[in-house]
């Protein structure tokens, strides 16, 4: 017995065979179909056809132009952090030469000077170094840009070195002259953050700077504070000659277990010293004695003569809601609040941390108040256990907190006003690998640099917080990985000036004994785009069509992008056409107010410029591939509905419909058996055009940045091309041309198939 | 009141209702955004709570959504667009031009209209002639060549074509500026402006010519099958006369209606084209404002676009009624 389904199947296959014969006659149709098959093959067999997965990033040796900025360093020494020296800028003259100091544990400091030559050097080239013996056992090195000094903190000494210039060259005779040695008087186990404040006196243009450090060991804390004014060098005197260093030892009752922290303002008043011990955290107000320095008869400036009064003001007793908290002090971190009134202690903010907790505390008029006990989101499995290790100040007032989690390094932005980790979830990042250093804030890059033990260097931009739906976070950029891994943490070197060129460089010493300097080009370290048909120079990988600016293989992205295009195109078109057909049929068949309402809606949708509305919806819904499909479908069904409705109307009035109704056919039967099969060709037709349009829409949306960042899409490739400014890069020709060619081809293919099908369905169109 | 008058009134009411519905939809969509405009500005850590409240009030978020809805509707209909959240500049001046801080800013709306209006006009003009010629020479190489290249351009993503043109003409040959802002120092009637217009115009033309040429061609082929053409040829009239005086003029009608509708969509502009060429038009403003959640600009732009598109369609309908007597009879 023949069932309904048998009949439908037979009519479908009959229709199919006749239509296919007619379709074959159109050359363009066959051409289109073969292109579609071509892309289908690429999409399905992408993993087989590509050498690398789309997420693969070419290794650093291929991407970074490192040879020009790396200098081999002597192999027999154990190396520490490189430190840069900033040159002084004389008014009216070009900037002077820069140098880089590298020191070793075994007692040598090497100074590399930038090579001269050429009108404009954008790349730092280093000369053979000068070597200077320095005492062994230096633990920590810090540079002071205003006066070209290097401070080396040893086990029980502080060494200060000064760089001298002879004209524009570094004076080889006097370079790194040991300027002062300070005997701290006890072993040094902990060294605080070196906090400094710079203030420019607008009337005179002089710059005040105060720096300080606290050195501590088991029972001792030593404060070292220094201060100077920079005066016009035409006087030939720098105040540093006259300023003094003052030390004061004091003991506390129990063992000091963590970094003491010294916080002070430029006036030298209300300086605070925070000392964490096993039991408690002690806070001291320190009053500094400021003296004036005279040379001849004129006042040169002020210097700190001593620490006058130390008064203990804080004794953190931690009770909240009746529960006594004990802080494990090594994780204590304290921040000053930029707008706080240090005179009264009002609004000085302290963030105290345990392993996975950060507490924010306000003081008002000297009393302690607890704010909420902020725990990191327990739902994020990566943050199960966070150990805070340090804090880096930022000139904008949103310091960076860093530490370790169970899966890697952890960085978070702190709201300096409240001392809390910024509550938006994207204000923290988990880095793969253990962080070994976070640099100071770099105003040029508007961010920080963090290096990991694995040798990767991350650039963390200020804008951690990304508004929802703006795609992937821009707060973290993996800058580069050094070949062979890093032997030392990378340190942001600061501005290293050269003749006619300025630049910010990051330095790291690799395990392969190279001092590697990379210009930090603004917010991103520049890479090269590997051209097509070439091999990576370090890895030997073959990149068929080259790589993009981040190191992705272009052919991989093209192949996997086919999946995205086909998926979005077919799905969106399918949904919109099916929906449009059904709505059109219902609207045409039933008429009446359903028809009126639906047609009004259709009018509205067709009136609106689709891309503008798509952008709006994408902004609201978020950049997700299914949202894109939804958006395209929601705007696409209207046109089809209108056409199907017209067709339905014309069918409705045909005699065979009357006959069916007379024969007693129900509405449903009339729709499914009579109308639907007759509008089906139109439906197929619009489906092909719909795919073509959907693919172009998706490409457009991706190009504007609203595509799904996880889906590799051809439009997105072009967006990145433009975003990274590589449109004019001759190496990037494949990156520019291929995505567009593919989009055009696939869209054209569907269109041609549609046209050929149109001729089948609409015999009038043939032979025209 | 004649049938035309009744029609106008009916359509006007339709337009107003459509406008209201669309504006409400836009409002609902934007209200659904979880991120609010004040959130971005609140990131600055030095703000006191009072400053934050002042900021929220300035953006109008101290009122309920319902209150804001009425304010919004009222403002839109009185063209009181307010000030931008990000720059504080009056939106109306940004859109229509005017003086800000003593400097004259060119209105974004006019920029877009000039570029896309020119593109539309040129596209139809060229399409008219080209379509007539290739329909006449149907089956020849020119015909198929034009059709094929038209298809290719039609399916090309406009931004890609733009990037390639920039690469060739602006970068390698240096004929045109790479960024599209220099001309603002010189005004609309300057070489710089023309130079800035040429590349985006080319992209727009190439892509839309496919449509207009094909439309003209189809329309011509329809007309050429009519009897009066056969008569004209039989009369012995020269080909050129038949082509231009008889055939193409009658083929003009669908083209004109399509043209008017296309003009109506001019205002929407090409968001993508403006973005690629960084042309300071409404589309680029819209994208920027959307990204920064600068809602006054977003609302104003969407409102203007909708209004103008609806008006354009309305005018097209009436024009069509005038031009084609067959419609009036119905």
Query: What does the pLDDT look like over B189-227, one tens digit per residue?
Result: 878 888 888 888 999 888 888 888 888 887 777 777 777
Contact B154 A470 (CB under 8 A): no
CA distances from A260 to A226, A505, B288 (A): 17, 30, 47
State the pLDDT at residue A440.
65
Which of A104-108, B151-155, B287-291 has the largest mean confidence?
B151-155
Residue in B39, B163, B306 nearest the CB of A467:
B39
CA distances from A418 to A116, A321, A358 (A): 49, 20, 11
Contact A608 B306 (CB under 8 A): yes
Note whether B29 contacts A: Cβ–Cβ < 8 A.
yes
Contact A608 B40 (CB under 8 A): no
Look at residue B54 and tell me whether its pLDDT is greater than 90. no
Residue in A397, A620, A700 nearest the CB of B157:
A700
With contacts defined as CB-CB under 8 Å, which chain B residues touch A371?
none
DSSP state at residue A296: T
CB A138 within 8 A of CB A103: yes
Note whether B276 contacts A: Cβ–Cβ < 8 A.
yes
- Give the mean pLDDT of chain B: 79
State the pLDDT at residue A379.
53
* 3-state SS class at A299: strand
Note whether B297 contacts A: Cβ–Cβ < 8 A.
no
State the pLDDT at residue A277.
56
With contacts defined as CB-CB under 8 Å, which chain B residues touch A747?
155-157
Contact B18 A607 (CB under 8 A): yes
Q: How large is the average pLDDT for residues B97-102?
A: 76
Note whether B265 contacts A: Cβ–Cβ < 8 A.
yes
Contact B155 A700 (CB under 8 A): no
Q: Is B172 exposed, middle or buried (0-12, 13-18, 19+ CB in 10 A)?
A: exposed
What does pTM read for this prediction? 0.70
Contact A740 B164 (CB under 8 A): yes
Contact A744 B156 (CB under 8 A): yes
Residue in B161, B148, B159 with CA at minimum distance from that of residue A752: B148
Contact A703 B157 (CB under 8 A): yes
CB A492 within 8 A of CB A446: no
Residue in A338, A692, A752 nearest the CB of B46:
A338
Put the strands of the sheet holding A298-315 in their side by side order: A261-263, A271-276, A281-295, A298-315
Across the strands, what pairs with A292?
Answer: A302
Distance, CA of A616 to CA of B271 (rounded, Å) = 12
Contact A469 B35 (CB under 8 A): yes
Residues of chain A falling short of pLDDT 50? 68, 86-97, 118-123, 228-249, 251-253, 265-268, 292-305, 313-378, 395-397, 417-419, 423-425, 464-475, 495, 497-502, 523, 767-768
Q: How far from chain centre, in Å, is Cα B262?
A: 8
Note whether B160 contacts A: Cβ–Cβ < 8 A.
yes
With contacts defined as CB-CB under 8 Å, which chain A residues touch B163?
718, 721-722, 727, 736, 740
With contacts defined as CB-CB under 8 Å, which chain A residues touch B151?
748, 751-752
State the pLDDT at residue A462.
58
State the pLDDT at residue B87.
77
Contact A704 B166 (CB under 8 A): no
Residue of A612, A618, A689 to mutate, interface with B, max B Cβ within 10 Å: A612
Note whether B154 contacts A: Cβ–Cβ < 8 A.
yes
Distance, CA of A691 to CA of A755 (rounded, Å) = 13
Residue in A612, A743, A748 nearest the CB of B160:
A743
Residue in A396, A611, A740 nearest the CB of B157:
A740
Contact B152 A744 (CB under 8 A): yes
Pairs of CB atoms within 8 A across A/B: 132
Can you list the positions of beta strands (E) in A581-659?
Answer: none
CA distances from A207 to A101, A202, A229, A303 (A): 25, 9, 6, 13
Contact B45 A397 (CB under 8 A): yes
A717-723 own/partner pairs: CB under 8 Å, 24+ apart = A717/A548, A717/A554, A717/A557, A717/A558, A717/A561, A718/B157, A718/B159, A718/B160, A718/B163, A720/A548, A720/A549, A720/A550, A721/A548, A721/B163, A722/B163, A722/B276
Note whether B255 contacts A: Cβ–Cβ < 8 A.
no
In chain A, the residue whose alpha carbon lies closest to the alpha carbon of B287 is A615
H helix or E strand, kind and range, residue B106: strand B103-106
Report the gap between the CA of A123 and the closest CA in chain B (Å).
25
State the pLDDT at residue A119.
34
Interface of B with A in 80-139 (CB under 8 A): none
Residue in A555, A563, A581 with CA at minimum distance from that of residue A686: A581
Report the gap between the CA of A704 and the closest CA in chain B (Å).
7
Contact A607 B309 (CB under 8 A): yes
Distance, CA of A213 to CA of A231 (rounded, Å) = 24
Note whether B47 contacts A: Cβ–Cβ < 8 A.
yes
Residue in B33, B164, B287 nearest the CB of A620:
B33
Alpha helices in A84-226, H assignment, sequence order = none
Report the gap between the CA of B32 and the closest CA in chain A (Å).
7
Contact B40 A467 (CB under 8 A): yes
State the pLDDT at residue A145.
57
User: Any residues with CB less than 8 A from the CB of A398 and at least 6 apart, and which?
Assistant: A413, A414, A415, A416, A422, A462, B43, B45
State the pLDDT at residue A558.
92
Report the gap between the CA of A442 and the closest CA in chain B (Å).
18
With contacts defined as CB-CB under 8 Å, which chain A residues touch B154?
751
Least confident range from A451-455, B22-26, B149-153: namely: A451-455
Look at residue B47 and tell me whether its pLDDT is greater than 70. no
Distance, CA of A84 to CA of A753 (rounded, Å) = 65
State the pLDDT at residue A342.
41
Q: How far from chain centre, in Å, is Cα A229?
A: 37
Distance, CA of A568 to CA of A711 (rounded, Å) = 11
Interface of B with A in 59-78 (CB under 8 A): none
State the pLDDT at residue A735.
92
Residue in B221, B302, B310 nearest the CB of A612:
B302
State the pLDDT at residue A180.
64
Note whether B22 contacts A: Cβ–Cβ < 8 A.
yes
């Amino acid at each position: 017995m023949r069932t309904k389904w048998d009949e439908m199947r037979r009519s479908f296959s009959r229709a199919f065979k006749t239509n296919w014969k007619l379709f074959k006659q159109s050359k363009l149709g066959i051409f289109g179909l073969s292109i579609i098959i071509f892309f289908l093959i690429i999409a399905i067999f992408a993993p087989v056809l590509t050498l690398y997965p789309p997420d693969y990033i070419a290794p650093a040796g291929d991407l970074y132009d490192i040879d020009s900025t790396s200098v081999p360093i002597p192999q027999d020494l154990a190396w520490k952090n490189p430190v840069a020296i900033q040159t002084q800028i004389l008014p009216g003259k070009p900037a002077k030469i820069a140098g880089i100091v590298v020191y070793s544990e075994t007692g040598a400091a090497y100074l590399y000077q930038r090579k001269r030559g050429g009108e404009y050097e954008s790349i730092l080239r280093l000369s053979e170094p000068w070597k200077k013996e320095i005492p062994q056992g230096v633990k920590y090195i810090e540079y002071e840009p205003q006066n070209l000094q290097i401070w080396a903190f040893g086990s029980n000494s502080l060494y200060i070195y000064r760089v001298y210039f002879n004209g524009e060259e570094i004076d080889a005779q006097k370079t790194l002259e040991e300027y002062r040695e300070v005997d701290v008087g006890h072993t040094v186990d902990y060294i605080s953050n070196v906090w400094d404040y710079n203030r420019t006196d607008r009337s005179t243009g002089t710059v005040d700077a105060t720096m300080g450090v606290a050195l501590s060991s088991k029972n001792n804390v030593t404060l070292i504070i220094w201060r100077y004014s920079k005066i016009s060098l035409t006087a030939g005197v720098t105040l540093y000659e006259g300023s003094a260093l003052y030390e004061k030892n004091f003991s506390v009752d129990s063992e000091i277990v963590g970094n003491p922290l010294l916080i002070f303002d430029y006036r030298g008043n209300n300086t605070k010293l925070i000392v964490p011990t096993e039991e408690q955290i002690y806070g001291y107000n320190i009053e500094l004695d400021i003296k004036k320095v005279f040379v001849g008869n004129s006042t040169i400036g002020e210097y700190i003569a001593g620490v006058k009064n130390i008064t203990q003001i804080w004794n953190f007793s931690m009770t909240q809601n009746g529960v006594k908290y004990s802080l494990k002090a090594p994780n204590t971190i304290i921040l000053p609040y930029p707008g706080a009134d240090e005179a009264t202690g009002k609004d000085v903010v302290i963030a105290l941390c345990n392993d996975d907790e950060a507490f924010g505390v306000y003081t008002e008029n000297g009393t302690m108040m607890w704010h909420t006990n902020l725990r990191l989101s327990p739902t994020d499995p990566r943050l199960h256990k966070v150990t805070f290790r340090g804090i880096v100040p930022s000139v904008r007032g949103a310091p960076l907190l860093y530490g370790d989690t169970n899966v890697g390094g952890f960085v978070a932005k702190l709201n300096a006003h409240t001392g809390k980790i910024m509550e938006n979830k994207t204000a923290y990042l988990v880095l793969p690998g253990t962080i070994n250093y976070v640099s100071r804030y770099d105003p040029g890059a508007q961010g920080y640099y963090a290096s990991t033990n694995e040798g990767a260097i991350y650039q963390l931009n200020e804008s951690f917080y990304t508004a929802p739906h703006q795609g992937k976070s821009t707060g973290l950029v993996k800058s580069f990985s050094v070949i062979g891994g890093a032997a030392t943490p990378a340190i942001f070197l600061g501005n290293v000036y050269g003749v006619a060129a300025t630049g910010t460089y990051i330095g790291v010493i690799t395990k392969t004994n190279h001092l590697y300097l990379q210009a930090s080009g603004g917010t991103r370290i520049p890479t090269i785009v590997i051209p097509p048909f070439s091999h990576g120079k370090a890895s030997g990988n073959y990149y068929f069509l080259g790589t993009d600016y981040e190191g992705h293989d272009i052919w991989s992205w093209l192949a996997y992008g086919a999946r995205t295009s086909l998926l979005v195109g077919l799905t969106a078109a399918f949904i919109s056409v099916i929906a449009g057909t059904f709505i059109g049929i219902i609207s045409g068949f039933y008429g009446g107010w359903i028809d009126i309402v639906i047609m009004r809606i259709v009018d509205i949708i067709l009136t609106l410029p689709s891309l503008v509305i798509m952008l709006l919806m994408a902004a609201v819904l978020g950049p997700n591939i299914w949202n894109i499909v939804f958006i395209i479908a929601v705007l696409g069904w209207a046109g089809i509905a209108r056409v199907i409705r017209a067709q339905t109307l014309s069918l409705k009035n045909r005699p065979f419909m009357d006959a069916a109704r007379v024969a007693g056919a129900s509405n449903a039967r009339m729709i499914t058996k009579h109308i639907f099969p007759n509008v089906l060709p139109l439906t197929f037709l619009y489906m092909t055009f719909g795919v073509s349009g959907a693919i172009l829409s998706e490409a457009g949306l991706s190009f504007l940045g609203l595509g799904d960042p996880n889906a590799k899409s051809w439009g997105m490739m072009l967006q990145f091309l433009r975003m990274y400014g590589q449109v004019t890069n001759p190496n990037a020709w494949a990156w520019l041309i291929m995505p567009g060619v593919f989009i055009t081809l696939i869209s054209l293919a569907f269109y041609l198939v549609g046209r050929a099908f149109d001729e089948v369905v609409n015999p009038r169109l043939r032979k025209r | 009141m004649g049938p035309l008058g009744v029609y106008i009134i009916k359509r006007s009411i339709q337009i107003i209702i459509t406008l209201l519905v669309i504006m409400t939809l836009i409002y609902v969509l934007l209200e659904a955004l979880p991120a609010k405009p004040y959130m971005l500005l609140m990131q600055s850590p030095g703000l006191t709570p009072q400053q934050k409240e002042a900021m929220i009030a300035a953006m109008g978020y101290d009122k309920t959504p319902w209150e804001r809805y009425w304010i919004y509707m009222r403002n839109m209909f009185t063209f009181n667009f307010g000030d931008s959240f990000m720059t504080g500049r009056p939106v109306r001046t940004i859109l229509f031009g005017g003086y800000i801080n003593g400097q004259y800013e060119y209105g974004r709306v006019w920029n877009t209209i000039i570029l896309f209006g020119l593109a539309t006009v040129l596209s139809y003009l060229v399409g008219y002639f080209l379509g007539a010629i290739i329909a006449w020479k149907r089956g020849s190489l020119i015909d198929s060549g034009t059709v094929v290249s038209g298809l290719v351009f039609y399916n090309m993503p406009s931004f890609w074509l733009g990037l390639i043109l920039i690469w060739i003409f602006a970068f390698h040959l240096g004929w045109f500026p790479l960024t599209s802002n220099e001309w603002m120092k010189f005004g609309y009637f300057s070489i710089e402006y023309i130079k800035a217009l040429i590349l985006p115009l080319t992209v727009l033309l190439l892509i839309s010519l496919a449509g207009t040429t094909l439309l003209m061609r189809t329309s011509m082929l329809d007309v050429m099958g009519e009897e009066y053409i056969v008569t004209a040829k039989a009369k012995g009239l020269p080909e050129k006369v038949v082509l231009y005086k008889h055939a193409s003029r009658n083929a003009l009608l669908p083209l004109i209606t399509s043209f008017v509708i296309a003009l109506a969509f001019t205002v929407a502009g090409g968001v993508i084209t403006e973005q690629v060429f960084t042309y300071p038009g409404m589309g680029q403003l819209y994208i920027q404002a959307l990204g920064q959640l600068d809602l006054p600009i977003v609302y104003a732009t969407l409102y203007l676009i909708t209004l103008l598109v609806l008006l354009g369609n309305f005018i097209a309908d009436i024009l069509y009624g005038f031009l084609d007597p067959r419609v009036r009879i119905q």
